Amino acid sequence: MIGTMFNICTIVAGSAIGGTLKKGIREDCQNAMMTAMGLAAVALGVNTVASNMPKSEFPVLFIISLGIGAVIGTMLNLDERFQNIANRNSKSKLGKGLSTAFLLFCIGTLAILGPIRSALYGDHTFLFTNATLDFITSIALAATYGYGIVLIAPVVLVWQGTIYFFAGFLQNFLQDSLMTEISIVGGILIAASGISILQIKDCKTMNMLPALLVPPVWFIIRMFI
């Protein structure tokens, strides 16, 4: 858990720095930072998809995953529920910032594979790299949405801690092919988040989060076929 704890510290530090800078940054500069973050999210998402797509054994699985996930998420109204909870006591549309932070901090390849490699091989390289990216990202997000971005820190702790805990028990199930399919879907969600930040289209990315569960379900079904 060394890598995860380091990751949490960078998010807290970045949120504190960004929240402090917010008071001295002009609105046009804040908008410029968010445009940069949107472009970065799109780039990270596209890179994740492009690097994993050639390794996919089921080229259409991500399409099925997104379709099923979007329907389930929309029926559950996940995006609106999340926004309402996060914005209840905030005047800065904190929900949008937190949903973006969740996708960038938790759904990326490094955030998923990092805890697994840490648990199975004692290799913290992915998590240290992820922590550096999260530090910079949290500064940019907090500079726009305020100190409230730090609320994502305990979520990241639970997320990575859960993956770390179960990695040992699920070692035989966590095949590289499954991680590839999850990474493709995750990359698309990150890119969609960037598109929303750029205000090109509100993709309601939170509604598509159930898509991440489809690949594991598919692999479980294949085990019994």
Per-residue pLDDT of the chain (225 residues; tens, 9 = 90+): 788 899 899 999 999 998 888 766 677 777 787 788 788 878 888 888 898 899 998 989 999 999 999 999 999 888 787 767 655 655 556 777 787 788 778 876 677 777 877 887 787 877 887 888 788 888 888 887 888 888 889 989 998 888 888 777 766 666 778 888 888 888 888 888 888 878 888 888 888 888 988 988 898 888 787
- Reference 120, options 181, 178, 176, 165; nearest CA is 165
pLDDT at position 65: 93
pLDDT at position 12: 94
pLDDT at position 9: 93
pLDDT at position 63: 94
Instruction: State if pTM tops 0.75.
Output: no
Query: 4 in helix, strand or coil?
Result: helix
pLDDT at position 64: 94
pLDDT at position 174: 67
How far is residue 122's CA from residue 140's CA, in Å, rounded to a whole number?
31
pLDDT at position 38: 80
- Domain segments of the chain: what residues? 2-223
Query: Alpha helix (H) ranges present in the chain?
Result: 2-22, 27-52, 61-76, 78-87, 94-106, 109-121, 125-145, 152-167, 176-197, 214-223
pLDDT at position 167: 76
pLDDT at position 68: 94
How far is residue 117's CA from residue 167's CA, in Å, rounded to a whole number?
9
pLDDT at position 89: 52
The CA–CA distances, whole Å, from 124 to 44, 107, 118, 128, 131 equal: 21, 18, 5, 6, 10
